[in-house]
Structure 1
Amino acid sequence: MPPLALFMITLGITLGTLMVTSANHWLTAWLGLELNMISIIPMIAKQKHLRSTESATKYLLTQAAASALLLFSSTLNAWQTGSWDITQLNETSSLLMIPALAMKMGAAPVHLWLPEVLQGSTLTTALLITTWQKIAPITLLYMMSNHAQSNITLLIGLLSILIGGWGGINQTQLRKMMAYSSIAHLGWTITAISIMPNIALLNIIIYMTMSTPFFLLLTTTSSKTLQTMTTQWSHSPTTAMVLTLLLLSMAGLPPLTGFTPKLLILDNLVAHKLTIMATTMALLSLLSLVFYLRTTYLLTSTAPPTTTQTTLMWRLKPYHNQFTASLTPIALFNITILPTLMM
């Protein structure tokens, strides 16, 4: 991609997100979301094959539909209340706005576009879609959390945790597996957004700090399937160890960082007398644990003295150990924050 085009795309994505996060007016937020969407489509379609074109088309259609629903909801709210303020939503507009933002993020039950778009994108673009592109919709949900219908958010969150765990079990492609992982983590965030918005924000921030080094390490080693994960230890033991710890942290196993927001969310749900909901969420999270542990088994099953089960893939590109070393502090953050909080 030409440097000027890359600069314009990066500028558009950054400005679009900043417009949404600093907006008080629904039209300003809508313009920021549109700028964000238009800027990332060339990154999805930059590969010269049909799969990337199909992914860009699916992303455009779903995001345009979500933007239209968002604009209709905000217009209806302005007609009924006389205000375009994001924090002033009536019940009808809130019922329409939450599914629109859920479609923007890729939460269930309007999630079908996310695994397909990620599968047709590069690992770098998949990282942007699962992290940076979530910031604007999450910010809008956070700003309207006082007016969000708790029944709707709890239902969408529970469905996202279920579908994210169930869909990821059957995947052998790492990008699709991470797409369903993103859906499951969004479920935890949306569940908490109307009851404890600060903890929901903490949950999505911690997920972004976990998935960023994971995707960067996959990009470095060109790993795209579970089969290539079996060669990681012979290729780079450091990378295999860091990936293992990141996966276990995303699974939410104590004492790693990923357990922190889950513990806080479950504790607050029980405090709000939603014990059955908390129990159901904890049980459904075991579905996600299955494919996380399967991937970590593939990473560690080839450690010495066990012999490698798969020949080294020719498409694995050599990389500098300095890059892996630079990601180590980020990975350590995902390992040590929970013991630090306990202290």
Structure 2
Amino acid sequence: MSPLTTSIVLSSLATGTIITMSSHHWIMAWVGLEMNTLAIIPIISKQHHPRSTEASTKYFLTQAAASALLLFSSSINAWKMGTWDITQMTDPHANILLTSALAMKLGLTPMHFWLPEVLQGSTMKTALIISTWQKLAPMTLILLTANNLSTPMLLTMGVLSALTGGWGGLNQTQTRKIMAYSSIAHLGWMVTIVTTLTNITTLALAMYLFMTTCMFSTLILSKSKTIQDTTTSWTTSPTLVITTMFTLLSLGGLPPLSGFLPKWMILEELISQNLSPLATTIAMSSLLSLFFYLRLAYTATLTTSPNTTQTNHKWRFKPSTSNLLLTTSSSLMTMVLPLTPILLY
């Protein structure tokens, strides 16, 4: 892809998200989502490979259906209530359709099947964009309409997403699919609390973006596409292995690291709202996610490749990518927990 084409596509991607995040009219929000979808299609399919073509087709069909459903729900609300304002989404039937559309945009259960397949057919950098930047616009719409969305539907999808993200990642060997199920699980946690406290949802989204960016940056730097590839990541940089381990433990939500902060606040708020069974269920689901995070951390840090003589070692090779994202996100991913009082009060 030429530099001019790349700049046009990336600027369109950014513009679509900004239009959606700053709009008050449903038509403008829909336009931003459509720009976002159309801009990322050439990024996914630029490899000229059957897998990337399949991934871009799946992504386009899913996102187009979700955008059409969103436009349909906003049209119903405008027909019955006489307003196109995003914050005035008061018709219950339109809200159910809107919740389904945004869940399909994000990849929440039961509309999650496209996400692992699309990430697996994309490159690591494209998977990073889909897992982080592409979540901003739908999450903004959820935060804007949180007071009107169907609470039982969101809670049900949140718990199912947390469970699906845990169960689905257990038998995966591809790191991109593991990160896809990790994304489903984290989005489930966010959606569970969005109707109660949107500021905790914003905090959880920010921490998810930091952790996912850091994890994908380490995978890109070590060129690890499978779990077996992580066993030779120490040949790129021993320090990178330590960063990978801390990132995985933070994704699992272990207390000394920043990933514990959003889960702690979400569980505390759910218990204060007398939703203890729900809090217990998603807390148990995080144990499933923690299992494959620990498995990945074990293979990356405590094992070496069984075929060391045949493996193409990367010792002291100059990294082909910039480390700016990794260095920025790794510090935020590990050291935010002591700042909890400042962030919350």
Q: TM-score range by the shorter chain?
A: over 0.9
Alignment partners' CA distance in 1, 2:228 and 2:341? 38
Q: Give the match for residue 314 of structure 1.
A: 312
Give the superposition deviation at 1:326: 6.9
Q: Give the match for residue 299 of structure 2.
A: 298
Alignment partners' CA distance in 1, 2:307 and 2:206? 36
Give the superposition deviation at 1:315: 8.6
Alignment partners' CA distance in 2, 1:176 and 1:127? 12
Deviations 1:58-116 (A, max 9, x none): 00111111011101100000000000000111211111101100100111110000000
Q: Would the alpha carbon gap of residues 95 and 321 (structure 1) be closer, same or farther in structure 2, given more than 3 Å must change? A: closer
Contact 2:235 2:313 in 1 (8 A): no
Q: How does 1:323-338 map to 2 (within 5 A)?
A: 323-324=322-323, 327-338=326-337
Q: How does 1:1-343 map to 2 (within 5 A)?
A: 1-89=1-89, 90-302=91-303, 308-311=305-308, 313-314=311-312, 318-320=317-319, 323-324=322-323, 327-341=326-340
**Range 317-326 or range 178-187, more displaced:** 317-326
Q: Would the alpha carbon gap of residues 153 and 316 (structure 1) be closer, same or farther in structure 2, given more than 3 Å must change? A: farther
Alignment partners' CA distance in 1, 2:321 and 2:45? 30
Amino acid at match of 2:312: W
5+ residue gaps in structure 2? Answer: none
Amino acid at match of 1:314: N
1:231 match: secondary structure:
helix
1:4 match: secondary structure:
helix
Give the superposition deviation at 1:213: 1.9
Q: Aligned-residue CA RMSD in angstroms?
A: 1.8
Give the superposition deviation at 1:12: 0.6
Deviations 1:172-226 (A, max 9, x none): 0000000000000000011111111110111011110111121122112211000
Give the superposition deviation at 1:339: 2.6
Contact 1:242 1:328 in 2 (8 A): no
Deviations 1:132-172 (A, max 9, x none): 00000000000001111210110010010011110001100
Give the superposition deviation at 1:342: 6.2
Q: Would the alpha carbon gap of residues 93 and 244 (structure 1) be closer, same or farther in structure 2, given more than 3 Å must change? A: same
Alignment partners' CA distance in 1, 2:41 and 2:122? 10
5+ residue gaps in structure 1? Answer: none
Amino acid at match of 1:319: K
1:109 match: secondary structure:
coil
Alignment partners' CA distance in 1, 2:221 and 2:235? 15
Q: Would the alpha carbon gap of residues 342 and 310 (structure 1) be closer, same or farther in structure 2, given more than 3 Å must change? A: farther
Alignment partners' CA distance in 2, 1:70 and 1:196? 24
Contact 1:115 1:175 in 2 (8 A): yes
Q: How many residues in Structure 1 have an aligned counterpart in Structure 2? A: 339
Alignment partners' CA distance in 2, 1:190 and 1:114? 17
Contact 2:70 2:98 in 1 (8 A): yes
Deviations 1:18-50 (A, max 9, x none): 000000000000000000000000000000211
Q: Would the alpha carbon gap of residues 15 and 324 (structure 1) be closer, same or farther in structure 2, given more than 3 Å must change? A: closer
Give the superposition deviation at 1:234: 3.3
Q: Would the alpha carbon gap of residues 235 and 187 (structure 1) be closer, same or farther in structure 2, given more than 3 Å must change? A: same
Contact 1:124 1:219 in 2 (8 A): yes
Q: Would the alpha carbon gap of residues 301 and 69 (structure 1) be closer, same or farther in structure 2, given more than 3 Å must change? A: same
Alignment partners' CA distance in 2, 1:296 and 1:33? 36
Give the superposition deviation at 1:314: 3.2
Q: Would the alpha carbon gap of residues 315 and 157 (structure 1) be closer, same or farther in structure 2, given more than 3 Å must change? A: farther
Contact 1:231 1:310 in 2 (8 A): no
Give the superposition deviation at 1:316: 5.7
Alignment partners' CA distance in 1, 2:41 and 2:222? 25
TM (norm. structure 1) is 0.95
**Range 312-321 or range 254-263, more displaced:** 312-321
TM (norm. structure 2) is 0.94
Alignment partners' CA distance in 1, 2:115 and 2:141? 20
Amino acid at match of 2:20: V
